[in-house]
Amino acid sequence: MSVCDCGTRDELVELVKEYMLQVTGVEDVFVLSDIDKKIIEQLEEEAKGNVLMGMGEGDNQGIAEVFKREHILCFTTNKEYVWPEPPNVIMMQGGEIIGFDCAEKDIFQYENNPDYMVMGTFIINRTKTVGNAGKPIVVLPPKPCGLGEIKADGAVLGSPSTPSDEYIREAYNFEKSNEKGTFFLGFNKIK
């Protein structure tokens, strides 16, 4: 069977797991149990609206998109894992983007401009921050995920909230370390 010809749901899931284990920085890949899915959905719902990263209320659109998919995998990463292209975090206020993360190579575009405040790789647009425009919202957007030659539909990544990350680490006995993380991958079988 070629990687493009999956007969069953289980074959597709196994192919995606094998593919992800070949990605640099991915340490482990597993299918979430139905119980884990329910717990994580509940944790994400509880996290919605809580202050995220000390910057504003959270809106984890990435996990919401992952959980709309037929198949959901979780994978653990180490410091060698290359995150998807930024922005992976977007700060909004009053319907406008006021902050975002960027690649290190792009920081130079902002660091000498008085309209921007640079905090590591996070950029805040000072001209768009408005005191009376409501609370800032920190959006974790869904990120597309290529799966090589595997034919799957709508593959998307989501970064879990801190409570979901902590739950996964504890439930599956993953090392608690700032150099290790968790991601969720959702995808559908092509009909």
For residue 144, pLDDT over 90 is answered with yes
Domain count of the fold of the chain: 2
Q: Which of 98, 121, 139 is the last residue of a domain?
A: 139
Taking only the tens place, the pLDDT of each residue in 14-72 is 999 999 999 999 999 999 889 999 999 999 988 887 765 566 788 899 999 999 999 99
For residue 9, pLDDT over 80 is answered with no
Supply the angle between the helices 34-47 and 162-171 in degrees, to the nearest 10: 150
Query: Are residues 151 and 133 part of one domain?
Result: no
**188 neighbors 72 (Cβ within 8 angstroms):** no
pLDDT of residue 4: 44
For residue 1, pLDDT over 70 is answered with no
Query: Are residues 61 and 12 part of one domain?
Result: yes
Give the structural domain span for 100: 89-139
Q: Which of 97, 113, 139 is the last residue of a domain?
A: 139
Taking only the tens place, the pLDDT of each residue in 63-122 is 999 999 999 999 999 999 998 999 999 999 888 899 999 999 999 999 999 999 999 999
C-alpha 59/C-alpha 15 separation (Å) is 31
Q: Which pairs from 16-22 meet CB under 8 Å and 24+ separation?
A: 16/71, 16/73, 16/147, 16/150, 16/152, 16/185, 16/187, 17/73, 19/147, 19/148, 19/150, 20/73, 20/75, 20/185
The predicted model scores a pTM of: 0.86
For residue 134, pLDDT over 90 is answered with no
Query: Are residues 94 and 52 part of one domain?
Result: no
Query: Are residues 97 and 24 part of one domain?
Result: no
Query: Are residues 50 and 102 part of one domain?
Result: no
Q: Which of 124, 139, 154 is the last residue of a domain?
A: 139
How many helical (H) and strand (E) elements, i.e. helices and strands, does the chain have?
5, 12
Residue 162, phi then psi, degrees to nearest 5: -55, -45
pLDDT band for position 3 (cuts 50, 70, 90):
very low
C-alpha 89/C-alpha 41 separation (Å) is 20
**111 neighbors 119 (Cβ within 8 angstroms):** no
